[in-house]
Amino acid sequence: MRDISLHLLDLMENSLRAGATHVECDMRLSEEGRLDICLRDDGCGMDPELQQSVLSPFGTTRTTRKVGLGIPLTAANAEKTGGALHIHSVPGQGTTLNVHFNTRHMDCLPLGDVAQTLWTLVITHPLSPEFTLTMASPQGESRFSTEEIRSVLGAEIPLNEPEVSAYLRDLLVEQAQTIFGGLLL
């Protein structure tokens, strides 16, 4: 993967495949350049055995092939910066992934386009699940929630309607710029 935002897209795809109805992404950048990302879903969860196996490149739930690289690649890129990836999961309740990157480390990937990651997920899943993105840095904090947007739009308008999707894209870009602009973007 070329940047952190692509890893996030990849990991959130796992949540969708786990049948989540709420997918949350919380990103916090500290004064010292430590980026903490918490991905939380209410999907099917994993038992301890599966949690171990997804950390290995040779573990996957797929049947079309024998490797699963999403989580191991993210973990490797986090560890290169002195960071780490942790999984906490309860079967039937959901999964939480905590990843931390030290963005000032010379091996740290660029952040990439977080707005585009979220937008891609939202417009290809216009009716459900609900997505939440919280971004925080010394420059401030922002919150994007499809549930809140739907409460204004009403349930009958899917989020991939052209005018809605353009609004969402501009909103996400604006938020990402405000929070991470000049720091990571």
Binding residues for other proteins, rule: CB under 8 A, are 1, 6, 9-10, 13, 17, 62, 64-65, 68-70, 73, 116-117, 120, 123-124, 149, 152-154, 156-157, 160-167, 170-171, 174
Are residues 27 and 142 in contact, defined by beta-carbon separation less than 8 angstroms? no
Cβ closer to other proteins: 157 or 183?
157
Rounded least distance, CB 30 to other proteins, Å: 26
Rounded least distance, CB 48 to other proteins, Å: 23
Cβ closer to other proteins: 79 or 161?
161
Report residue 102 as tokens: 């030290």
The secondary structure of the chain in percent helix, strand, coil, rounded to multiples of 5, reads 35, 25, 40
Are residues 32 and 140 in contact, defined by beta-carbon separation less than 8 angstroms? no
Rounded CA separation 153/147 (Å): 10
Report residue 104 as tokens: 């000032």
Cβ closer to other proteins: 106 or 152?
152
